[in-house]
Amino acid sequence: MSLDMKASKEGEPALRHVELDVLIPKLMREKARERCADKVEAFTHCCKESGFLMVVKCQEQNAALKECLSMHYKDPEFQEECKQQYVKEKEEYEKTGIPAKNRKQKLPTSM
């Protein structure tokens, strides 16, 4: 998964090496797993049913899952979408100081 996403457009922030090579690909994996949820579920179910024989019995489900994930990883539009989501979350964090996962949690109503 090679991301060539340096700040090429004017006004876009420059991204650090760790953001390009670790954080954005992590976001891509998470989003791709969501989009391939049916394949993930089928492979997981097969593995649970097969035990030690999963290597042999789940080849079809594994191949379908790999194909689905690879399709997303290689899609330039998907890469750009994930990059933009990362940049937006980073900018929001810089403004608020609250990580994205904490912003999504509801605050308690009674204190």
Residue numbers of the domain that contains 34: 17-95
What does the alpha-carbon distance between residue 5 and residue 13 come to, in Å, rounded to a whole number? Answer: 11
pLDDT at position 102 is 65
What is the domain count for the chain?
1
**Structural domain contains residue 104:** no
Instruction: Look at residue 56 and tell me if it is in a domain.
Output: yes
Q: Would 64 be classed as within a structural domain? A: yes
Structure confidence at residue 7 (pLDDT): 46
Inside any domain, residue 70 = yes
Is position 90 within any domain?
yes
Length of the chain measured in residues: 111
pLDDT at 3: 52
Q: Which tens digit of pLDDT belongs to each residue from 73-110?
A: 999 999 999 999 999 999 988 888 888 776 555 555 55
pLDDT band at residue 38 using 50, 70 and 90 as cut-offs: very high
| Model pLDDT, residue 8 | 46
Q: Are 84 and 91 in contact (CB under 8 A)?
A: no
How much is the average pLDDT of 14-39?
94
Six-digit token pair at 70?
């690879």
Q: Is residue 111 part of a domain?
A: no
Q: Is 76 inside a domain boundary?
A: yes
pTM over 0.75: no
When comparing pLDDT for 66 and 107, which is higher? 66
Residue-level pLDDT at 58: 95
